[in-house]
Amino acid sequence: MTAMRTAIIAGQGRLPRALADAMTDVPLVAALDGFTPDGLTVDLRFRVERLVPFLRALERDGIRQVIFAGGVTRPRLDPALLDEATAGLLPRLMQAMAAGDDATLRVVIELFEEFGFSVIGVEDLAPALLPGAGVLAGTVTPRDEADAARAARIVAALGAEDVGQGAVVVQGLCLGVEALPGTDALLAQVAGIVGLRPDPARGRGVFYKAAKPGQDRRIDLPTIGPDTLRGVAAAGLGGLAFQAGSVICLDLDEMQGLAGELGLFLWARG
């Protein structure tokens, strides 16, 4: 029986490489024009305006399943580049994009499936990247637990509106929530807050990350890594908590060591 060949539909960052390393066979790496993964050679580049020719190219290369990995932002569409087949899909894509990221990603998955591709997720290919519940570094205090619980409620409420996947809470006060600019922007914003910050002696606070309620787990699961911890430390927080089994951790061993060096806790919250 012929093995099922896989394509990584890659964006920026280290996740595409981590998934490639977890595979027994060499994947085809396809990247959206303008977005290059770290440490991987791109075999095929594509544009949204030429989506149907790209899907047919995957078929010709023997691809049967795909996995989406890495960061992208919404590209600007050039109508002059549209082919006839992709132009027929454009109203559907534009309607989804107007409804938000989750709606857009659902339509992208539907289109790949309609062309006969199986869409798999990180937990199918590399479940070790999604740590289960437990304190992975440092010590979590009752104050930290309370802050994480409040942050989890905030993230769940925001996620239901397709807004973001993270929040910072210090002694019950929400100092910031993640929106379109992303995690780095949120942590930088919190680092600049001085007058509103409570007394750190009573608890330094937490950055919490979680999947959106009801999101398709095959695409856009939140991702954290060593740089996230550095941002948490720079923001003057006590640690990083995340939803166990639903957040991708890049270089977990390095994250655990770095958390110790920075005096932070790292907690997969069940």
Reported as a single tens digit per residue, the pLDDT across 16-36 is 999 999 998 899 999 999 999
d(CA 134, CA 136): 6
Helices (H), 23-141: 51-60, 84-87, 90-99, 101-114, 122-125
Q: Tell me if 122 sits within 8 A of 9, measured CB to CB.
A: no
Phi, psi for 173 (deg, rounded to 5): -95, 130
CATH match of 130-269 with 3.20.20.70: no
The residue with tokens 């750190």 is 200
Domains of the chain: which residue ranges?
5-125, 130-269
* Beta strands 206-209 and 239-243, pairing class: parallel
How many CB atoms are located within 10 Å of the residue 61 CB? 13
pLDDT tens-place string over residues 142-199: 999 999 999 999 999 999 888 889 999 999 999 999 998 999 999 999 999 987 788 8
d(CA 254, CA 3): 34
Which CATH architecture group holds 5-125? 3-Layer(aba) Sandwich (3.40)
